[in-house]
Structure 1
Amino acid sequence: MKKLPALLIITVCMAFISCSGPGTDRGDQIIVAGKIDGLDQGTISVRRDDVLATADIHPDGSFHLPFSYYANYYFQFRVADQGFWLYLDPGDSIYISAHIDDFSNTFSASGDKSVEAEFMVRKEPLDFGPEVQVMSAGLDEYFEKKNEFLTPLIELVNELEKQNNLDPDFLKLEKAYIELRSLQLDLNFPMSYRMRNNIDRDAPIDFPEEETKQRLESLDYSDPLLLRFGVFRNFANRKVHELRQQMMHGINPGEIGPDSSMIYTVLAADSLFVPEIRDFMIYDMLRANIGFSGPVGARRSVELFTSMNKNPYYTERLNEAMAQWDMLSPGSLVPDFTFTDIDGNSVRLSDLSGKLIYIDIWATWCGPCIAEHPHWDRLIEKYGDNDIAFLAISIDESPAPWEKMVREKEMKGYNWYAENAWQSEIATHFLIRGIPRFILLDRERRIIDPNAGRPSGNISELLDQHI
């Protein structure tokens, strides 16, 4: 959590607690309601992997946010510039209150999982800010700094254990989290230390790295409850990646298709984990891959996963993720979006009619984007006499750094700026969640490839087919 938004007062909300009496099946709906002082408008949202629901903040600061999920989970909420987490079960109703300007100190909760909610708000500032001091420590002080970081979290969990009416799964999770967090720090510190001190990544340092790797290997991957933690999922991902690399070793590169990596990811996860963990891990990786790259390279993987998946929720969400890309299928006409060129003029995609348009969505702060620039320049030199418009569109938060870089580097091709960054028309239309992103349009502004190859890759093959 960053700064934490308020969990709301119960006054007018008490009626919601009694909507479903004891023994009533409340299904998978969860209700979060309350009042945030200091706000008279705006929205509050809840997300797990994507946004699950949003609700309006009323003039008196109150809100009512129902949403559905199939299992107990840690859900992330955001209101104004505040973020907070709640641990909730299907069927729960909770009422929260706080002031938007002093969220963590004014937070209170009533209803289901109220003890857990107040714990989460107290835990947040202990869990992330102090980590910087641990990662910046020297070899001789690392374990002392780590203990200083973990001790308040351990004490908070010890307090939690004394509470009545506590969800047993939540207590089990929070105890496990301490061990997972400790292992995560021990795994990350050597790399951080080497980078800060310009030490080669393979050079030995006075740190128990082998012991740490053994702890990672001996981690119990059989408890699906631990999937609630990103750190556990990251550890599981490492195992999948390592096994996938072993499985693909020795395969002729000519036999590796665009979806081979994901196919072997599915197979690796299937051989490593119990079905519940396997299904979640594959779903999570497929969902992220589809969100970033689209469904073209994932369809066979999704079909393979669907044949083994036991949870219909995952299949439903993957189908939804793929359906989002329907409007980006080859042949679809792209709206005539408006941009600003380097001279401050208003320009549109239609200004490039009659040319193939190879688009680079980038930003000045993006290292991988900058790394593509020399390859971009070479492409322009190679195809200079052909009807191809090389269009670099910046989604920087403001135009100043973009203008500075374009002019200083004398960047080639068309250089345009999109207002509203990630929320710009082109970024939202093309479902852009990561950059650089390359797009190829035909001479009539219709999509050839919504996720085209990079200049450093084999994009020339596709360009040659269409010039």
Structure 2
Amino acid sequence: MRKYLIYLTIPAMVACGSKEPKPTTLAGRYTNGTDNKVIVISPDAIDTISLNENGLFVHKVNLANPAMLKVRSGRIQTTLYLEPGDSSYFEVDANNADGISFSGSNSELNQNLRSRSKELQNIFRGWRDLFSLNLNEFGLKIDSISKELFQKTDSLKAKSKNFAEMEANRVRYFMLRLRSQYPEYSAYLSGEEFNPDSADYSFFDNVDMNNGEHLSYDEYASLVETYAQLRIQKAQNFKELSSKPAQERLPAIFSMIDSIFTNPKIRDYVKKQYLMEEIQFGEFWKLNDICNNYLAACTTPVYKQEVQSVYNEKLKIAPGNSAPTFTYNDINGKSVSLSDFNGKLVYIDFWATWCGPCRGEIPHLDKLEKDYKGKKIVFVKISLDDDMDAWRKMVTEKKLGGVQLHADGAWSSDAAKNYQIKGIPTFVLIGADGKIINPNAPRPSSEEIRTLLDQELAKI
């Protein structure tokens, strides 16, 4: 699955038996942000809440058991531990996302949760060193990290047994996730071809892959996805299936998922992930029947809500719709608008200087632009860099051509929002009439792009 995609994930909740729900309050404030809303992900729903003029929001939810709720504004996500009846508050400065402060109920635990999450993130950031170890060295390293993490988890029991239990589960699944990723990442780093049949995944035999309640842990959800992918990759017709369009491929994959998992919630989740991948990065306008069938069969309301919401939003940029307008300054400070290119095809590259795949496409894009010089097509490159100086430096030093723009607000810019950019590089092709031809156009390095451009130029 595409690495840059960030899906909404359902928050962790301890199963403590059936209890009477209690009103629970979560409030927060965002300063220096560009978004005017937040998304709150609770055990049973995904809610979008507007911020007031001071960047404040208040959200009430009924909780029967302790839970971890996620709050997302733009690219900043905050996770908070709440117990039934709690009243928790946090503040975020968008210019210093690491400086989140907590107050109210369980503020100490929430600060601890943030610190521990950063610790796990830092472990994974060292993935090259970790996965370059041989199998024996990797096993010893994992055991050492696990021991240290579980010692810290045990120390939390005195403060909250429920919180300590949730953190222990999270650590366990995080370590299992690393083990599940080792064979493929190790092969990649050593330049070898990954073969799932020859890798040792025997540890999966000791993991319950049908625990619907534990999908509440992001780490377990990721483990389930990896397990599903491995099983599907081992299918005899996998290569043939991979080459088929989504309309044919997804029903076959959904059938495999039904045979792999017995828990309905697990099935719903894994199918949702495959479907969301296609909605976000594929020819989503051809998935109406697939989406309707999923929504009809899905028994997990929050997954249905997510798919329906994302699909309806995505249809706003389906082929044939008017392309969202934008106006940004180019590298020389000149104001440039999409309307300036009426009567020409517009091939847009959403990219950033730090993005490896984006940089890899630059030579192909330069060649494409050179070969189509003088034709009714313009190549527009929109940077989503947070660091504008890094963009200026690279464009200038590399002498990058085309129309070079920087989107004010980067990922929170109007262009990124209106074109629903979830991963980069993303290419968009707009017709001479200002309408979208393909919101997920082929990359410059692909074989399909020249055929598509030639076909559309012939219509002008």
TM-score interval, smaller chain: 0.7 to 0.9
Query: 2:150 is matched with which residue?
Result: 154
Is 1:422 the counterpart of 2:417? The answer is: no
Measured in 2, the distance between the counterparts of 1:156 and 1:238 equals 27
Kindly tell me: are residues 132 and 318 of structure 1, through their superposed partners in 2, closer, same or farther at Cα, counting changes over 3 Å? closer
TM-score (structure 2 length as normaliser):
0.74
Is 1:461 the counterpart of 2:451? The answer is: yes
Measured in 2, the distance between the counterparts of 1:353 and 1:98 equals 47
Query: 2:400 is matched with which residue?
Result: 411
Query: 1:345 is matched with which residue?
Result: 334
Kindly tell me: are residues 121 and 333 of structure 1, through their superposed partners in 2, closer, same or farther at Cα, counting changes over 3 Å? closer
Query: 1:319 is matched with which residue?
Result: 308
The correspondence of residues 166-185 of structure 1 with structure 2, limited to 5 A, is 167=162, 173-185=166-178
Measured in 2, the distance between the counterparts of 1:380 and 1:359 equals 12
How far residue 427 of structure 1 moved from its aligned partner, in angstroms, is 1.2
For structure 1, the 5+ residue unaligned runs are: 1-21, 204-208
Is 1:96 the counterpart of 2:88? The answer is: yes
The correspondence of residues 125-204 of structure 1 with structure 2, limited to 5 A, is 127-129=120-122, 136=129, 145-160=141-156, 167=162, 173-188=166-181, 199-201=190-192
Measured in 1, the distance between the counterparts of 2:345 and 2:25 equals 50
Match of 1:357 among 314, 339, 346: 346
Q: Does structure 2 retain, via aligned residues, the 8 Å contact 1:380–1:390? A: yes
TM-score (structure 1 length as normaliser):
0.73
Q: Does structure 1 retain, via aligned residues, the 8 Å contact 2:46–2:306? A: no
Higher Cα Rg: structure 1 or 2?
A: 1
Query: 1:233 is matched with which residue?
Result: 221
Query: 2:8 is matched with which residue?
Result: none
Amino acid at match of 2:68: Y
Kindly tell me: are residues 267 and 297 of structure 1, through their superposed partners in 2, closer, same or farther at Cα, counting changes over 3 Å? farther
Range moving further from structure 2, 295-304 or 426-435: 295-304
How far residue 224 of structure 1 moved from its aligned partner, in angstroms, is 0.9
Q: Does structure 2 retain, via aligned residues, the 8 Å contact 1:98–1:107? A: yes
Query: 2:12 is matched with which residue?
Result: none
Q: Does structure 1 retain, via aligned residues, the 8 Å contact 2:154–2:164? A: no
Measured in 2, the distance between the counterparts of 1:423 and 1:442 equals 25
How far residue 97 of structure 1 moved from its aligned partner, in angstroms, is 5.9
Supply the RMSD in Å over aligned alpha carbons: 4.5
1:296 match: secondary structure: helix
Kindly tell me: are residues 105 and 155 of structure 1, through their superposed partners in 2, closer, same or farther at Cα, counting changes over 3 Å? farther
Amino acid at match of 2:170: Y
Measured in 2, the distance between the counterparts of 1:282 and 1:294 equals 17
For structure 2, the 5+ residue unaligned runs are: 1-17
Kindly tell me: are residues 304 and 68 of structure 1, through their superposed partners in 2, closer, same or farther at Cα, counting changes over 3 Å? farther
How far residue 430 of structure 1 moved from its aligned partner, in angstroms, is 0.6
Is 1:402 the counterpart of 2:397? The answer is: no
Measured in 2, the distance between the counterparts of 1:360 and 1:79 equals 25
Q: Does structure 2 retain, via aligned residues, the 8 Å contact 1:136–1:193? A: no
How far residue 225 of structure 1 moved from its aligned partner, in angstroms, is 1.7
Q: Does structure 2 retain, via aligned residues, the 8 Å contact 1:109–1:118? A: no
Amino acid at match of 2:311: M
Kindly tell me: are residues 97 and 239 of structure 1, through their superposed partners in 2, closer, same or farther at Cα, counting changes over 3 Å? closer
Kindly tell me: are residues 420 and 141 of structure 1, through their superposed partners in 2, closer, same or farther at Cα, counting changes over 3 Å? same
How far residue 40 of structure 1 moved from its aligned partner, in angstroms, is 8.7
1:75 match: secondary structure: strand
Kindly tell me: are residues 272 and 297 of structure 1, through their superposed partners in 2, closer, same or farther at Cα, counting changes over 3 Å? farther
Measured in 2, the distance between the counterparts of 1:447 and 1:313 equals 31
Amino acid at match of 2:151: E
Match of 1:436 among 412, 420, 425: 425
Q: Does structure 2 retain, via aligned residues, the 8 Å contact 1:74–1:87? A: yes
Is 1:278 the counterpart of 2:267? The answer is: yes
How far residue 431 of structure 1 moved from its aligned partner, in angstroms, is 0.8
Q: Does structure 2 retain, via aligned residues, the 8 Å contact 1:32–1:96? A: yes
Q: Does structure 2 retain, via aligned residues, the 8 Å contact 1:439–1:449? A: yes
2:240 match: secondary structure: coil
Q: Does structure 2 retain, via aligned residues, the 8 Å contact 1:55–1:64? A: no
Is 1:390 the counterpart of 2:387? The answer is: no
Range moving further from structure 2, 266-275 or 334-343: 334-343
Measured in 1, the distance between the counterparts of 2:112 and 2:283 equals 39
Q: Does structure 1 retain, via aligned residues, the 8 Å contact 2:285–2:315? A: no
Range moving further from structure 2, 355-364 or 116-125: 116-125
Kindly tell me: are residues 148 and 440 of structure 1, through their superposed partners in 2, closer, same or farther at Cα, counting changes over 3 Å? same
Please give the per-residue CA displacement for 1:278-304, whole angstroms capped at 9, x wherever unaligned: 112222332344244463253343233
Please give the per-residue CA displacement for 1:220-241, whole angstroms capped at 9, x wherever unaligned: 1121122122222222212322
2:276 match: secondary structure: helix
Kindly tell me: are residues 415 and 51 of structure 1, through their superposed partners in 2, closer, same or farther at Cα, counting changes over 3 Å? farther
Amino acid at match of 2:213: L
Please give the per-residue CA displacement for 1:73-114, whole angstroms capped at 9, x wherever unaligned: 53224699986423458xx3312367989x99985653xx88
Q: Does structure 2 retain, via aligned residues, the 8 Å contact 1:224–1:276? A: yes
Range moving further from structure 2, 145-154 or 359-368: 145-154
